[in-house]
Amino acid sequence: MAPGNRVLVLAEVMGGVIIPHSHEMFAAGMAIAEGLQVPLVLGLVGTDQDEALANIGTLDGSIETVTAVVDEGEMLPYEAWVDATSELVRSVDPHIVLASGTSFGNDYAPRMAARLGLPMASWVTSVTVDDQGLVVTRDVLGGRAETAIRCNSGTPFVISLEPGTIDPSPIGDIAAISLSDVFAELAPTSPGSQSTAHRKRLMGADRIVSGGRGMRSEEGVALIEELADVLDAAVGSSGAAVLMGLSPHETQVGSSGEVVRPKLYLAVGLSGTPQHTFGMRESQFIVAINKDPNAPIFQLADFGIVGDLFEIVPALIEALKKPA
């Protein structure tokens, strides 16, 4: 695959919203396109792109927008993303592809690069263009050293950015939200703030209902909260849900969140990564709801329900609300 002369940013759209990290990718994409003096193409990948396009308003006229709808069907999420993004990269024929460095991006992007036979540099922390082309840097040895990679191969080059390392640029008319903005906004401002209340309830709670990336949107969050209310439980979340801006950081359970030991832990739409299970594996009784029968959380669960949370959770709420 010979490289074309464009820079393609693969922005992640979840429930009609472009995730904060994609604004950082957009900033990096603009800097690279400007340095190489080539056009920038904004790829919106995910679901509800029309809504995302309406949200972003007016884009600089020189930026072309392309979309790829992810249709999971019977596939695992990352498989559907590999399909959609591979197709997009083939059709745009870019010189540089910027993929997401979120946990989800780390799932699909290397597989996409492998499928297309393209070189990839992941966890990139800065991008510069000199007279010989693009140079990216990334941390090595746990951040104790840095390595520079010159991206002048004879094929397109895929790079993924480490979230939070590049200042975001607004995509279109909407404000550029960075991950640090998200965390700052969610940080407790006063003892009575909602996020503090979440935290107090999570720590020491007997029952916790945690939602993951599978919640996808406000609608999913509302379902998790309603289920928690019906069960008189605290609301928890996975790191991915926090990264997507769906849940406050104070609700994150895991190695960089809270370590909890409730009597009942209900894990909904989360896969059960080691970072998450570190924080809840000591729970007395674990129930998991996930549409992927092979999700690792089922190995830990005492009781598992394989199915779509948007069907299972409403049915569960209805059943729990019925008088005994």
Ligand X SMILES: Cc1cc2nc3c(=O)[nH]c(=O)nc-3n(C[C@H](O)[C@H](O)[C@H](O)COP(=O)(O)OP(=O)(O)OC[C@H]3O[C@@H](n4cnc5c(N)ncnc54)[C@H](O)[C@@H]3O)c2cc1C
Q: Binding to ligand X by residue 240, rule CB under 6 A?
A: yes
Q: CA 146 → CA 125, 126, 136, distances in Å?
A: 9, 10, 10
Among 3, 212, 262, 304, indicate the residue that binds ligand X (CB under 6 A). 212
- Selected from 257, 266, 288, 304, the binder of ligand X by CB under 6 A is 257
Residue range at the interface with ligand X (CB under 6 A); choices 42-50, 146-154, 268-276, 314-322: 268-276
Q: Binding residues for ligand X, how many (CB under 6 A)? A: 31
If DSSP codes are grouped into helix, strand and coil, which group holds residue 144? coil
152 touching ligand X, by CB under 6 A: no
CB of 118 to ligand X, least distance (A): 23
**Residue 137 or residue 255: which is nearer to ligand X going by CB?**
255
Could you tell me if 116 and 139 are in contact, meaning their C-beta atoms sit under 8 angstroms apart?
Answer: no
Question: Which one of 273, 281, 300, 317 is in contact with ligand X (CB under 6 A)?
Answer: 273
Q: Judged by CB under 6 A, which stretch of 54-62, 150-158, 177-185, 248-256 contacts ligand X?
A: 248-256
User: What single DSSP character describes residue 253?
Assistant: B
308 near ligand X, rule: CB under 6 A: yes
Q: Do 132 and 195 touch, CB atoms closer than 8 A?
A: no
- The size of the chain, in residues, is 324
Among 110, 181, 310, 317, the residue binding ligand X under the rule CB under 6 A is: 310
Taking CB under 6 A as the rule, does residue 82 contact ligand X? no
Are the beta carbons of 180 and 21 closer than 8 angstroms? no
To ligand X, the closest distance from the beta carbon of 28 in angstroms equals 20
Give the residue from 24, 3, 89 showing the smallest Cα distance to 11.
Answer: 24
Q: How far is the CB of 210 from ligand X (least distance, A)?
A: 8
User: Does residue 275 bind ligand X (CB under 6 A)?
Assistant: yes
Residue 254 contacts ligand X per CB under 6 A: yes
* Interface with ligand X, residue 214, by CB under 6 A: yes
Residue 236 interacts with ligand X (CB under 6 A)? no
Residue with token string 């700052």: 184
Residue 195 and residue 215: Cα distance in Å, rounded? 19
Could you give the C-alpha distances from 312 to 179, 266, 274, in angstroms and in order?
A: 31, 13, 25
Contact 94/3 with Cβ under 8 angstroms?
A: yes
Q: Is 125 in the site for ligand X (CB under 6 A)?
A: no
Smallest distance, ligand X to C-beta of residue 294, A: 9
- Decide: residue 267, CB within 10 A, 0-12 exposed, 13-18 middle, 19+ buried: buried
Candidates 270, 286, 287, 288; binder of ligand X (CB under 6 A) is: 270
- Determine which helix (DSSP H) or strand (DSSP E) holds 196, and give its type and residue range: helix 194-202
- Distances 306 to 133, 149, 315 between C-alpha atoms, Å: 49, 43, 14
Q: Which residues pair with 139 in a beta bridge?
A: 146
Residue 11 in contact with ligand X, rule: CB under 6 A: no
Which residues of this chain interact with ligand X, rule CB under 6 A?
77, 103-104, 212-214, 238-241, 252-257, 269-271, 273, 275-276, 279, 289-292, 295, 308-310
